[in-house]
Structure 1
Amino acid sequence: MTHAAIDYTAVYHALPGMVAILTPGLVYADVNEAFLEGTGLSREELLGRYLFDVFPDNPDNPGSSGARNLHASLLRVVTTGERDTMALQRYDVESREHPGEWEERYWSPVNTPVLDSDGTVVLIVHRVEEVTELMRARDRAGVDQSRVLEAELYARARELQELNNRLRQAHARERQVALVLQKAMLPAPRQLGHHRAAVRYRPAVGALNVCGDWYDLVDLVGGDRIGVSVGDVVGHGLEAAGVMGQLRSALTAASLVAAGPAEALDVVGRYAHVVDGAESATAVTTFVDFDRHTITYSSAGHPPPVLVHRDGRVEFLDRATDPPLDALPDPHPRPQATTAFTPGSTLVLYTDGLVERRREDIDTGLLRLAESLRRHRTQDPEPLADTVLLELLPPGGAVDDTALIVVRL
C-alpha cells in the first residue's frame, strides 16, 4: 500500500484508544469510535459542544480539580504550541442511568497541538486513557501492591511536573524580558499639544503570545494635525517585540513625510517584506486634522477605529481596509477615506484583544465596544480608557494583548 492510498480517517476511527479532536476554543471537532464507546455518548452529543459543557466538574466534590487541571493543560498547549502530558487525574462523570449521581473515574490524558505552516495551533489532539479499573484493581490487590503503584505514579507525576515547571520558568523569563523591551520601545504617554489623549497596554494573562501589539501618536507637519496608529505583530516573545519596534518606528517616520495614511502604510508594507517575522502584521493609522475637522484613515487588515460623535452616534471607520502589511507579493497603493467630526467627539483605536473572544463572532465584540463608548462618551480620555478596559476585558484578563488609544477631538 502506498502512502497516498492510506485512509487516515479510517485509521483515526479505528484507533483502539480514546481520541478527540478539539478546536483551540476547546470545542469538539471530531471523536473516534473508541471515544464514543468509552464515554457512552453519541457524536451528536459531542460535536460542536464545549468540552466542559459536556464534562463538567463534580459539583458534589468541592475538592475536585480534574476539570481545572485539564483546562490548564489545554490552555498551555494552545499558548505554547507544545504537547502536555498530564499526571493521573480523578475526573468524575455523571451517570447516564441516574442523572445527578456521579461515578468516580480516573484518566491519563495527553494533549498534543496540531500546527499550521505559521506555527499557530489550529487543533488539539486530546488522547485519554481510562485507568479506573487499574485503580480499583490496586485497591483489591492490597496495601503492599497499591503502595508500589502509587510510588510509580507519584514518581511519574513528579517528573512531569518538574519538566512543566522548568518550561514555565523559561517562558516566564522570556515574557518578562520581552515586556521590558516593549515598554522601552513604545512611546511614553503624553499630551499632543493641547489635545487630550490616553493610551493603555495590557499584556495577555497566562499566555506567552505577548509583545506584538503597539501604538503610536505623533505630531504631523503642517497645521494642527496628529497621527494616531495601532498595530499587531503575529507571534510572541522577544522576536515579536523586536518586529513590533521596527514596524512602529518605520510607520512613525513614514507618517512625518507621507501625504496621507495610505501612503504611510504603503511604505511600511514594502519595508515589512524585508523584516523577518512581519508576516501577517496588521496596522491602522489615522491623520487627524483639527483645523479642517477631518480624520483621514487607512487600515492594513486591522479592526476599524471608532469615532464617537458628541450626540452618541458611533461610526466605525471601515471604508479603507486592505490586507495586512506583508500579505501581498506585489504591493499596490492602499485605499484611504476621510470622515468629518465635530469638536468634542472621541476617536478610539485598539487591537483585537479588546474585542475578540473565542466562540464568539467579532461583530459581537465590536457592538459591545460601541455601546460602552456611547454610554461613557462624556468621560475624559483617561477615565474612559479605564472604563472600556474594565467593561470589555474578561475579569481574569484576556488571552491576547490589548492596546488602546482614546483621543478627544
Structure 2
Amino acid sequence: MSEFPIDYAAVFQALPGAVLLLTPELMIADANEALLRRAGRQRRQVVGHHLFDVFPDNPRDPDATGTRNLRASLERVLATGLTDTMALQRYDVELPGRPGVFEERYWSPVNAPVLDADGRVRLIVHRTEEVTETLRAGAPRDHGGDPQRMTAELYARAQELQQLNDRLRQAHARERLVGLALQEAMLPAPRPVGHHRAAVRYRPAVGALNVCGDWYDLAELSGDRMAVAVGDVVGHGLEAACVMGQLRSALSAATLVTPGPARALEVLGIYARSVEGAESATAVEAFIDWSSHTIAYSSAGHPPPALLHPDGRVEFLDGATDPPLGARPEHVDRPEALVSFADDAVLVLYTDGLIERRREDIDVGLARLAASLTRHRGAGAETLADALLAELLPPDGATDDTALVVIRL
C-alpha cells in the first residue's frame, strides 16, 4: 500500500496551537495561522523579522521579563539540542495599530529543536498556549470588580511561578557544579603508567542537567603491561557520578587480581548487580602487553576501541562484545579477544559521546572517527586527543559526556 501523502505545510497552518519556526539566529522563518490570529499580526509583519523586534517587552514596564526569559530558554535549546518547557510567563503584546500600547497577556511556552543529521539545531519550534483567560477565570472573585486588583493578583501568581522556576534552575545548576567536581575528583589525573604515557580527556555535556557517568581508568600491570578502561553509566546528575565512582574503583581493584579483561569485567558485572543505578552501565577494558605486542580486550556493551595501524588503517576491536554490566540474571563467562599491534600504532578508547548523534546510525560516527584518526596518524597522543575532540564533537557542545584515552603503542 502506498504511503498516504501528507501536506505538512497545510498541517502546520492548521495546528490549533500558536507556533513559530525560528532560525538559530532567532529570525522568524514561519508562523502558523493560530499564532498570527492571537498576536493580531499579518504574515508580512512577522516572517523574516527578528523575534524580539516583532514581540518586544513593554518599554514602560521596568519589571518586564518576557524577552529575557524566552531568550534564555531558546539559548538552552541551542546549547543542548533538548526541548525546554518554560514556566508560565507574563509577556505583554503590543496592540495592532496602536504603537506603544501593550496589553497584559500570559503564556505557557515550549521550545523544541529540529536537528540535522549531525545533531545540530537547524530550527526551533516555539509553541505557546495563551492562558490569560484561564487565569482570569480562576482568579478569586473577592477583588470587588476592581480590574487593577485582579491584574495585580494575576501578576503576583505569575511572579510566584517564575520565582519557583528560577529556584529550581539554580538548584539544578548547583547540582551540575557539584557533580562535575565529584566526577573530576574521581577520575585519575594524566600520569605515566610505567614508561608509557596516555593522553586522557573528559568533556562534560552542555546544559544544566547533563552531568553524566562517563569515566576512564589506567593501571600498571606486572611486566611491560598496562590496563586501560572506559565506561559509561546510564543517567545524569549526582547519582550517575556516584555510581561511576563505585564502578571505576571496583574495576580498578579487579584488574589487579584477575588474569585478563574478561575476568575483570565479570567481577565488575557481579558487583554492578548490587549497586543501585548501575543497571545497563557499559565498559570496555584492554590489557596492553608491549613484550608480546598484543592487546587483550573485552567489552560489556560498549563502543569498540579503535586501533590505528602505522599505515593509516583503522581496526575496530569488536571481537569480544557482550551485554552491559548486570544485564544477565545469572553468571556467564565474558568473551575475550587478542589482537597484535606494530610499533607506533595507536589505541583509542572512548565513550559514545564522541561518536553518537541523534537520528544517526552509529556506523556513521565510527566512520567519522576512523577518518579523523587516519588524517592525524602521525600526531602525538596529546595532539591526537585534541584533534579528535575538535573534529568529532559538535561545535556548539555535545549533549552527552565524552571520555577519551589515546595511547601511542
Give, as a single letter, the amino acid of the residue that structure 2 aligns with 1:164: N
Which structure has the larger Rg over C-alpha atoms?
2
Structure 1 residues 264, 169: CA separation in 2 closer, same or farther (over 3 Å shift)?
Answer: same
Shift of 1:82: 9.8
SS of the equivalent of 2:369 reads: helix
- Which residue of 1 is the match for residue 220 of structure 2? 219
- Which residue of 2 is the match for residue 14 of structure 1? none
- Which residue of 1 is the match for residue 359 of structure 2? 359
Segments of 5+ residues of structure 2 without an aligned counterpart are 1-7, 20-27, 33-45, 54-66, 94-104, 113-125, 135-145
- Which residue of 1 is the match for residue 165 of structure 2? 164
Contact map agreement 2:31 2:47 (CA 8 A) in 1: no
Contact map agreement 1:73 1:84 (CA 8 A) in 2: no
Contact map agreement 1:197 1:407 (CA 8 A) in 2: yes
Provide Cα deviations, 1:49-87, integer angstroms capped at 9, x if missing partner: xxx9886994322636798666567799997x9964342
* Partners of 1:367 and 1:90 in 2: CA distance: 50
* Partners of 1:298 and 1:53 in 2: CA distance: 50
* Partners of 1:77 and 1:372 in 2: CA distance: 24
Of 156-165 and 234-243, deviating more is 156-165
| TM-score (ref. length: structure 2) | 0.70
- Which residue of 2 is the match for residue 228 of structure 1? 228
Give aligned pairs, total.
332
Give, as a single letter, the amino acid of the residue that structure 2 aligns with 1:61: H
Contact map agreement 1:85 1:111 (CA 8 A) in 2: no
Structure 1 residues 35, 76: CA separation in 2 closer, same or farther (over 3 Å shift)?
Answer: farther
- For 1:93-172, what aligned pairs fall within 5 Å after superposition? 108-109=107-108, 128-129=128-129, 155-172=156-173
- Which residue of 1 is the match for residue 89 of structure 2? 87
Segments of 5+ residues of structure 1 without an aligned counterpart are 1-29, 42-51, 92-105, 114-125, 135-144
- Which residue of 2 is the match for residue 268 of structure 1? 268
- Which residue of 1 is the match for residue 16 of structure 2? 38
SS of the equivalent of 2:52 reads: coil
- Which residue of 1 is the match for residue 342 of structure 2? 342
Shift of 1:39: 6.5
- For 1:279-358, what aligned pairs fall within 5 Å after superposition? 279-358=279-358
Shift of 1:365: 1.5
SS of the equivalent of 2:400 reads: coil
Contact map agreement 2:18 2:127 (CA 8 A) in 1: no
SS of the equivalent of 1:217 reads: strand
- Which residue of 1 is the match for residue 405 of structure 2? 405
Give, as a single letter, the amino acid of the residue that structure 2 aligns with 1:63: F
Q: What is the percent sequence identity of the aligned residues?
A: 60
- Which residue of 1 is the match for residue 62 of structure 2? none
Contact map agreement 1:88 1:153 (CA 8 A) in 2: no
SS of the equivalent of 1:295 reads: strand
* Partners of 1:328 and 1:234 in 2: CA distance: 17
Provide Cα deviations, 1:15-65, integer angstroms capped at 9, x if missing partner: xxxxxxxxxxxxxxx9xx999442699xxxxxxxxxx98869943226367
- Does residue 60 (structure 1) correspond to residue 62 (structure 2)? The answer is no
